Amino acid sequence: MNAVSKKTVTLEDTGESIEGVTVLGDYHLNGGYEWMELIEEHGWAVLSSWGHEGWDLGQWPYVMVAATRTADSIGNLFGVATYCEGDVTCTFYRTKARQWDVISEHAFTYWKNGQAHGPDDLPEAAAELPSRYRMPFAVHAA
- pLDDT (average), residues 44-65: 96
pLDDT at residue 1, as a whole number: 59
pLDDT at residue 2, as a whole number: 86
For residue 78, pLDDT over 90 is answered with yes
In a domain, 141, yes or no: no
In a domain, 56, yes or no: yes
For residue 142, pLDDT over 60 is answered with no
Tens of pLDDT along 117-133?
A: 999 999 999 999 999 99
Domain count, the chain: 1
Q: In angstroms, rounded to a whole number, what is the distance separating the alpha carbons of residues 142 and 136?
A: 18
| Spatial contact of 31 and 46, defined as CB atoms under 8 Å apart | no
Which structural domain, as residue segments, surrounds residue 91? 4-133
In a domain, 142, yes or no: no
- pLDDT (average), residues 75-101: 98
Q: Is the overall model pTM greater than 0.85, yes or no?
A: yes
In a domain, 139, yes or no: no
Tens of pLDDT along 2-23?
A: 899 999 999 999 999 999 999 9
Q: What percent of the chain has pLDDT over 90?
A: 94
